Chain A
Amino acid sequence: MIFNKKFAPLLIPVISVLLGLLVGGIIMLISGYNPIAGYQALWLGAFGDAFTIGETIRRTTPLILTGLAIAFAFRSGLFNIGAEGQVIVGWLASVWVGIGIEAPMIIHLPLAILAGMLAGALWGLVPGLLKATLGVHEVIVTIMMNYIALYVSNEIIRSVLTDHATKTEQIASSASLSAEWLQSLTMYSRVHYGILIAIFAAAIMWFLIERTTIGYELKSVGYNQFASRYAGMNVKKNIILSMVISGGFAGVAGAMEGLGTYGNIHLMSGFTNLGFDGIAVALLGSNHALGVVIAAFLFGSLKEGAGQMPTSAGVPIELVDIIIALIIFFVASSYIIRLAILRFKKEGK
Chain B
Amino acid sequence: MIDLLQSIVPTILFFSAPLILTALGGVFSERSGVVNIGLEGLMVIGAFVGIVFSLTYQSTFGALTPWIAIVVAAIIGGIFSIIHAVASVSFYANQVVSGVAINMLALGIGVYLTKQWYDKGQTDMVEGFFRTDIPVLSNIPVIGPIFFERVYATSYLAIILAFVAWFVLYKTTFGLRLRAVGEHPMAADTNGINVKKIRYIAVVLSGILGGLGGSVFALTIVSNFSQSTIVGQGFISLAAVIFGKWHPLGAMGAAIFFGFAQSLSIVGSSIPVIEDIPQVFLLIAPYVLTILALAGLIGRADAPKANGVPYIKGSR
Do A and B actually bind? yes
Chain A contact residues, CB within 8 Å of chain B: 27, 31, 79, 81, 126, 130, 134, 136-137, 139-141, 143-145, 147-148, 151-152, 154-155, 269-270, 276, 279-280, 283, 310, 316, 318-322, 324-326, 328-329, 332-333, 335-336
Query: Which of A151, A155, A319 has the most chain B CB within a 10 Å cutoff?
Result: A151
Bound complex: CA A269 to CA B235 (Å): 15
**B40 (CB) vs chain A CBs: closest residue:** A143
Report whether B101 and A325 are in contact in the complex, using a CB–CB cutoff of 8 Å. Answer: yes
* Nearest B residue to A158, CB-CB: B280
Cβ contact within 8 Å between A318 and B112: yes
Expressed in whole angstroms, the Cα–Cα distance for A339 and B303 within the complex equals 32
CA distance A143 to B102 in the complex (A): 16
Query: How many Å from the CB of A82 to the closest CB on chain B?
Result: 11
How many angstroms from the CA of A305 to the CA of B98 in the assembled complex? 25
**Known A130-B295, A269-B228: A333·B290 in contact at CB below 8 Å:** no
Q: Which residues of A contact B100 (CB under 8 A)?
A: 81, 276, 279, 328
Given contacts A316-B111, A316-B116, A328-B101, contact A79 B96 (CB under 8 A): yes
Q: List which B79-130 residues lie within 8 A (CB) of chain A.
A: 83, 87, 90-94, 96-98, 100-105, 107-109, 111-112, 115-116
Contact B291 A141 (CB under 8 A): yes
Contacts of B287 in A (CB 8 A): 144-145, 147-148
Residues of B within 8 A of A155 (CB): 278-280
Note all chain B residues with C-beta closer than 8 A to A126.
Answer: 291
CB pair B98 A329 closer than 8 Å: yes
B228 to chain A, nearest CB (A): 6
Collect the chain B residues with CB atoms within 8 Å of residue A31's CB.
112, 116
What are the residues of chain B within 8 A of A320 when measuring CB–CB? Answer: 108
B284 beta carbon closer than 8 Å to chain A = yes
Q: How far is the CB of A289 from chain B (nearest CB, A)?
A: 20
Measured CA separation A145–B94 after assembly (Å): 22
- Residues on the B chain within 8 Å of A136, using CB: 291, 294-295
Whether A325 contacts B104 in the complex (CB less than 8 A), given A148-B284, A318-B111, A332-B87, comes out as yes
Shortest Cβ distance from B104 into A: residue: A325
Interchain CA distance A280-B90 in the complex, whole Å: 21
Taking a contact as CB atoms under 8 Å apart, the answer to whether A324 and B104 are in contact is: yes
* Contact call A151/B284, Cβ cutoff below 8 A: yes
- The CA-CA distance from A328 to B287 in the complex, in Å, is 27
Separation of A286 and B40 alpha carbons in the complex (Å): 26
- The smallest beta-carbon distance between A157 and chain B, in angstroms, is 11
User: Which residues in A have their C-beta under 8 angstroms from that of B105?
Assistant: 321-322, 325-326, 329
**Which 8 residue pairs of A and B lie closest in terms of their CB atoms, listed nearest first?**
A321-B108, A325-B105, A333-B91, A325-B104, A332-B93, A316-B115, A322-B108, A318-B112
B96 in complex: contacting residue of A139, A144, A326, A333, CB < 8 Å: A139
Chain B residues within 8 Å of A130, by CB: 291, 294-295
Closest to B105 in A: A325
Sample of 14 more A-B contacts, CB < 8 Å, known A151-B284, A283-B97, A318-B115: A81-B100, A137-B303, A140-B290, A143-B239, A145-B287, A147-B232, A154-B280, A155-B279, A310-B115, A318-B107, A324-B108, A328-B97, A332-B93, A336-B91
Chain B residues with Cβ under 8 A from A79's Cβ? 96
Q: Is B238 an interface residue (CB 8 A)?
A: yes
Residues B238 and A143 in contact, CB atoms below 8 Å apart: yes
Q: Which residues of B contact A269 (CB under 8 A)?
A: 228, 231
Q: How far is the CA of A107 from the CA of B59 in the complex (A)?
A: 66
Do A329 and B107 form a contact, CB below 8 Å, given A144-B239, A148-B287, A335-B92?
no
Q: Which residues of A are found within 8 Å of B290, using beta-carbon distances?
A: 140, 144
In contact, A332 and B94 (Cβ under 8 angstroms): yes
Nearest CB on B from A222, distance (A): 14
B294 touches A270 (CB 8 A): no
- Taking CB atoms, residues of chain B closer than 8 Å to A333 are 87, 91, 93, 98
7 CB contacts below 8 A, A to B, read A79-B96, A139-B35, A147-B287, A148-B288, A328-B101, A332-B94, A332-B97
Residues of B within 8 A of A154 (CB): 280
**Is B70 engaged at the interface, CB distance under 8 Å to the other chain?**
no
B308 to chain A, nearest CB (A): 8
Task: Report A63 CB to chain B, min CB distance, Å.
Answer: 14
